[in-house]
Amino acid sequence: MQTVSSHPAADLHFHVHLAQCAHFSDATLKINGRSYKIRKCLGEGGFSFVYLIDDEASGRPYALKKILVSSGQEGVQLAMREIEAYRKFKHPNIIKLIDSAVVQDGDGKIVYL
């Protein structure tokens, strides 16, 4: 559950995240030269969204985590630590990281896992 304050800017920020999750449904996304079709949003957190996607070349389904980074290089470094954690641990209950990318998006960055 996410708490929304009564401050108008916080409400706008919350609604932008909700719209962002729904906005990408049925879109195509290109990451590191591969194309993926976004089927639906599976969930969202503070600054992250998880989508069900299909690799357009193979048709295989994957989960894509999209992290919005607006806090400069420090935010990117935190996301990179998460990527490294996924790469280090091998366990049936931890997802296997297939690929990652950092993309410039306006004033911020997006990290895809």
> Model confidence over 21-51: pLDDT tens digits?
655 567 888 999 999 999 999 999 988 999 9
Q: Whole domain around residue 81: which residue ranges?
A: 8-112
Whole-number mean pLDDT of the chain? 79
CATH of the domain at 104: 3.30.200.20
> Model confidence over 75-102: pLDDT tens digits?
889 889 989 998 888 889 888 898 999 9
* DSSP per position, 58-70: T--EEEEEEEEE-
Mean pLDDT, residues 61-86: 89
User: Number of folded domains in the chain?
Assistant: 1
**Rounded distance, CA 24 to CA 21, Å?**
6
Which of the four pLDDT bands, split at 50, 70 and 90, describes residue 11?
Answer: very low
CA atoms within 13 Å, Cβ hemisphere of 54: 11
Q: What local confidence, expressed as pLDDT, does residue 71 receive?
A: 74
Q: What local confidence, expressed as pLDDT, does residue 48 receive?
A: 92
Task: Report yes or no on 25 lying in a domain.
Answer: yes
pLDDT above 70 covers a percentage of the chain that reads 78
